[in-house]
Amino acid sequence: MREDQSFEITRAYDLLPHVVGASWASIWFRMNKRRRPTKEEFREKVTEYFKMLEPLTNAFPQEENFKEMIVYIKEKHEDEIRRILTGNNSEIEKRYKRFIDYG
- Which band of pLDDT confidence, cut at 50, 70 and 90, is reported for residue 78? very high
Quote the CA–CA distance of 29 and 24 in Å, as a whole number: 9
Q: Given a cut of 90, is residue 60 above it in pLDDT?
A: yes
* Mean pLDDT, the chain, whole residue set: 95
Express as a percent the part of the chain with pLDDT over 70.
98
- Which band of pLDDT confidence, cut at 50, 70 and 90, is reported for residue 89? very high
Q: What would the mean pLDDT of 58-65 be, rounded to a whole number?
A: 94
Q: Sign of torsion, CA 57 74 11 64?
A: negative
Q: What is the largest CA-CA distance in the chain?
A: 49
Q: Given a cut of 90, is residue 2 above it in pLDDT?
A: no
Q: Sign of torsion, CA 43 83 6 53?
A: negative
